[in-house]
Structure 1
Amino acid sequence: MAQTGIADRAARNGHAADEGGAGLAGRLLGGLARQVQQRIPAADLDERDPDYIRESLPRQWLLASLWFRGEVRGLGNIPESGPVLLVGNHSGGNMTPDTIVFTLAFYTYFGVERPFYQLAHNLVVSFPQLSFLRKFGTVAASPENSAKALQAGAALLVYPGGDRRSLARGLGLDRLFRLKVLPISLALPWGINVGDFLGHIPLPAKITVEALPPIDLREEFGQQPDLDEVYDHVMRLMQDTLDALAAERRLPVLG
């Protein structure tokens, strides 16, 4: 009965009923994934604490400057007000100091009063030792939380990753197109870190982030943008910029 219920829910969500063991496994995994997705907490935008950010910003910047020699370029390309979706890539691993470097630079440039949120894995926002990130505006990654932040007029940072179509899925572009949230800005870091939450420290590599000019999807791709075309365009811009940033590096690992 449990398997039948999961299969029925999968079918109602647009998944065809496959034959054989592979199909059954797929349906079971799909049902499990949806159960996990439903447990992602809704974003509490009020957890962002401008006073906390203002107080901790100097010492956080000092640490980022000494250890990572953090440098963020092109912040003037980001619209000064209103909702904006910041799309970037991070250097990998569970620890993402490039996100912290960019967040610190964003608040320094635009001020702590501007609403700014960063999407993160559910484990990050649930980890007790990382609760301070919620005060900086970190929320669990989901299309619903993305829409909530953007509808509130905030800037939103997302690092989609994985397979070829993950950008469109990660952003929930089909939903976001119905919001008056454009343009998209690209924030591209070049750095390196290693390890898991415990027992590993990010390497002291120089982290450089560059924000590119905004992209107005409707203006550039029409009222019904083709997601594959948008994907190719965004990835090409990101890769070209990353190649240029990589060419500036002079030392292995340290940059």
Structure 2
Amino acid sequence: MVDNVVAERLPGELAKWDPAFTKRVTEAAWPLIRRYFRAEVRGLELFPPSGAALLVCNHSGGMLTPDVPVFGPAFFAKFGYGRPLYTLAHYGIFLVPWGPLLPRLGVVHASPEAATAALRSGAVVLVFPGGDYDAYRPTYQQNVIDFDGRTGYARTAIETGVPIVPMVSIGAQETQFFLSRGTQLAYRLGLPRIRAEIMPLTVGLPFGFTVFFLPNWPLPSKIVMEVLEPVDPFAFGKNPDIDEVDDHVRRVMQRALDRLARQRRFPILG
């Protein structure tokens, strides 16, 4: 489990992170993930060598997104398991049978309170501001940074005084065809009442045409994740404007994603 001194400053799920358990799972799964997705994580030399940081990434690949399984092993290979990495996740991911184990891997329910507590303890926090809205963006928009107007991450970074580290991911949106987020369908079905504002429509293997609750297995698309230069929110002034910080972060990420997209020669193959 996390160090006792640190754990005393962490509420609930955050204190459950177990580096030894994370190491066992990572070492067992990473060789398979790396080969299947031919995964690369670039730019970790740009990451702050110590201390808290808010890592902000676009989210890709639908329900079976490989973003965290690809990034986590690379992060720990670089910095070791003594540096906590927490991932904020939508509550739906905890409904699977192995959901109770996720906090031991550092995956916790997304909330401003969890992010703030983790950052103030000195941890790294990985957030996907666009959430499932981003992860299910249509294939024709696969290389577009779209957080759906969510800027809470910038507010959290300003309030805790930590750097924002942008990161972009490409390839996971090619693991199946994403036809539509199904926003209108979700509202007609009343799903927003259970915090589900989309009902995605996808085509893939093995089920063909599917909706949100029946995910296809991801195709072995080449996944590349790239860490970018850290952003100091206070470079925008003593009292940074949240929208200005968010706009800068998204523009930096979009430029990087455009560059990675130009480097890709073929879908899936990379």
- For the superposition of Structure 1 and Structure 2, which TM-score range results when normalised by the shorter chain? 0.7 to 0.9
In structure 2, the CA distance between the partners of 1:121 and 1:79, relative to structure 1 (3 Å rule), is same
The one of 216, 219, 229 equivalent to 1:203 is 219
Give the structure with higher Rg (CA).
1
In structure 2, the CA distance between the partners of 1:100 and 1:177, relative to structure 1 (3 Å rule), is same
What is the root-mean-square deviation in Å for CA atoms of aligned residues?
Answer: 2.0
> What is the Cα deviation at residue 43 of structure 1?
4.7
> What is the Cα deviation at residue 188 of structure 1?
0.8
Partner of 1:142: 111
Q: Give 3-state SS (helix, strand or coil) of 1:128's partner.
A: coil
Partner of 2:39: 70
Looking at structure 1, the residues matched to 124 and 107 of structure 2 have their Cα atoms a distance apart, in angstroms, of 12
Looking at structure 2, the residues matched to 108 and 197 of structure 1 have their Cα atoms a distance apart, in angstroms, of 34
Looking at structure 2, the residues matched to 199 and 73 of structure 1 have their Cα atoms a distance apart, in angstroms, of 28
Looking at structure 2, the residues matched to 91 and 164 of structure 1 have their Cα atoms a distance apart, in angstroms, of 12
The one-character-per-residue Cα deviations of 1:204-252 (angstroms, maximum 9, x if unpaired) are: 001100001111111x201111122112211110001001111121222
**Conserved? CA contact 1:77–1:211, under 8 Å:** yes
**Identity between Structure 1 and Structure 2 (%):** 43
**Conserved? CA contact 2:151–2:242, under 8 Å:** yes
In structure 2, the CA distance between the partners of 1:105 and 1:164, relative to structure 1 (3 Å rule), is closer
In structure 2, the CA distance between the partners of 1:110 and 1:165, relative to structure 1 (3 Å rule), is same
> What is the Cα deviation at residue 197 of structure 1?
6.1
Partner of 1:189: 169
Partner of 2:80: 111
Looking at structure 1, the residues matched to 246 and 170 of structure 2 have their Cα atoms a distance apart, in angstroms, of 20
> What is the Cα deviation at residue 149 of structure 1?
0.9
Partner of 2:255: 240
Looking at structure 1, the residues matched to 262 and 30 of structure 2 have their Cα atoms a distance apart, in angstroms, of 25
> What is the Cα deviation at residue 202 of structure 1?
1.2
Looking at structure 2, the residues matched to 98 and 204 of structure 1 have their Cα atoms a distance apart, in angstroms, of 13
Aligned length: 210
Instruction: Give 5+ residue unaligned stretches, structure 2.
Output: 1-10, 134-145, 177-201, 203-211
**Conserved? CA contact 1:190–1:207, under 8 Å:** yes
Q: Which amino acid aligns with 2:250?
A: M
In structure 2, the CA distance between the partners of 1:175 and 1:249, relative to structure 1 (3 Å rule), is closer
Looking at structure 1, the residues matched to 155 and 250 of structure 2 have their Cα atoms a distance apart, in angstroms, of 18
> What is the Cα deviation at residue 108 of structure 1?
1.4
> What is the Cα deviation at residue 139 of structure 1?
0.5
